[in-house]
Amino acid sequence: MILIASMFLVSIGYTMVIPFLPLYLLDIGVPEESIAIWTGVVFSSCFLVAGIMGPVWGKMADTRGKKQMAIRAAVLLGFSYLFCGLSQNAWQMTAARAFMGFSNGFVAASMAIISVSADPKNLGATLGMGQTALIVGGIAGPLVGGTLAHLIGIRNTFFISAAFLWFVAVLVILYVREPKLGMVKKVESKVTTIGEDLSYAFHNGHLREILFIAFGLQTTILMIQPVTALYVSELLDGMGNVELISGFIMSSGGIAGALTTTLWGKFGQRKGYYFAICLTLLAAGCLTMAQSIPDTVVGFGLCQFLVGCFVIGVNPSLNAAMVMYTPDDFRGRVFGLFNTAQQFGNMVGPLVSSAISMMAGIWEVYAIAGLIQLSLGMKIYLGRVRKGELGK
């Protein structure tokens, strides 16, 4: 429960400043005509470095201790926010965000500890609670950040985020106890290299498939997010508060996910994790494609809420299935690889979205994202569910 609460605070600290990065770049002197380019550079620098470092921190979690890696990540992330608040130009901000990517790994280490601590019978529900904490923190973050930015300024909000992370480090130091694995497993985990770890993941069919789905799903989520405000603006035809309405619509999907994620985790426990992954992906794909159909904001918002009920519910079963098919002494590394897959999806999604919207249009982004989700669901159905491998 301490780790779940900590992930909630980490998620708040992350999302309370992310929406205001373009405004902060303007404050530190980036010309308005260059803001789009620098925003992309600043965002992607974090995702790129985080994706590269994921397997490294995951391996160290298995060899040196998951709790140590959680503390390391919380402390360094706090310093990364401090550096962001001290930045005076775009180059310094890019370096601070790259250091944030280097510091990443708190959620992966926390989920690894939870996976070896939880009762196997309640694994799906417990991982679902962790996912819910991240979602709720992500929803609350912009509200907290907006309020703080209004009261004390954007720069000082970075310092508050740093304090959040250091408080989390103190909580983990004082209250979290990592279950001990046998000495044989510890010795075995030390003699593998990063290349051997990657080779193991590649040759483990279940793990390879799960990481591919994590990458594909995150790509589709990040395809949609950048164009939502533009699509809402088109539906409103220039009338109304686009920022407020698009923010409300995006939050509605997060709220739907927070309400249903734990339920999907329990569903996966009863019916099988692969069955849950298949069902949620197929439903999310159909509803994501349906978002391109409504010609009113109300219809679009309703589809977004329904998408949230399913697309966010994929992750608890993905995490639980991943735990099922990897040994205990590989948990830190596997969650590190999972984080890497998601970070690269974060990078690729906006690029794909930009290419599609330039060549075709905005609604095609939703249609193609939905088709990708459908294809991922069909892959699980044909490769696992239809053959009777439900993932129980």
pLDDT of 275? 92
How many other CB atoms are there within 10 angstroms of residue 199's CB atom? 12
Share of the chain above pLDDT 90, in %: 23
The predicted-structure confidence for 44-103, as pLDDT tens digits, reads as follows: 788 888 888 888 888 888 788 889 999 999 999 999 999 999 999 989 999 999 999 899
Q: Categorize the per-residue pLDDT at 244 as very low, low, confident or very high, splitting at 50, 70 and 90.
A: low
Question: For position 349, what pLDDT does the model report?
Answer: 83
pLDDT of res. 183: 39
Residue 332, token pair as written in the block? 């830190």
Q: Which of 221, 189, 188, 243 is nearest to 308 (CA)?
A: 221
The residues near 363 (Cβ < 8 Å, ≥ 6 apart) are: 231, 292
Asked whether 47 and 56 are in contact (CB, 8 A), the reply is: no
Same fold, 1-180 and 192-383: yes
Least confidently predicted of 74-78, 141-145, 203-207, 275-279:
141-145
Q: Which residues contact 61 (CB under 8 A, 6 or more apart)?
A: 68, 69, 105, 108, 109, 112, 331, 332, 333, 335, 336
Cα–Cα distances in Å, from 47 out to 50, 92, 104?
5, 17, 9
Per-residue pLDDT at 243: 58
| 1-180 CATH, one of 3.90.1280.10, 1.20.1250.20, 3.20.20.70, 3.60.15.10 | 1.20.1250.20
Question: Is a pLDDT exceeding 70 seen at residue 339?
Answer: yes
Q: Radius of gyration over alpha carbons of the chain, in Å?
A: 20
Can you say whether residue 177 is alpha, beta or left, with left for phi > 0 and alpha for psi between -120 and 50 degrees?
A: beta
For 290-335, the pLDDT digits (tens) are 888 877 888 888 888 898 889 888 888 888 888 888 877 777 788 8
Q: Is the pLDDT of residue 374 over 90?
A: yes
The position carrying tokens 């294809």 is 375
DSSP state at residue 191: S
d(C-alpha 50, C-alpha 343), whole Å: 7
Summarize pLDDT for 144-191 with one digit per residue, the tens: 777 787 788 888 989 998 998 999 999 999 998 877 655 334 434 445
- What pLDDT sits at residue 115? 80
Buried b (16+ CB within 10 A) or exposed e, 43-74: bbbbbbbbbebbbbbbbbbbbebbbebbbbbb
Q: Where along the chain do its domains lie?
A: 1-180, 192-383
Predicted confidence at residue 229, as pLDDT, reads 67
CATH (residue range 192-383): 1.20.1250.20
Q: Which residue has the higher pLDDT, 43 or 188?
A: 43
Q: What is the mean pLDDT of the chain?
A: 83
Question: Which pair of structure tokens corresponds to residue 17?
Answer: 């400043």
User: Does 22 or 2 have the greater pLDDT score?
Assistant: 2
Top mean-pLDDT range of 73-77, 106-110, 226-230, 297-301: 73-77
Alpha-carbon distance 94 to 26, whole Å? 14
Query: Which pLDDT score is estimated for 189?
Result: 46
Work out the pLDDT band at 253, boundaries 50, 70, 90: confident
164 CB contacts (<8 Å, ≥6 apart)?
Answer: 9, 10, 12, 13, 78
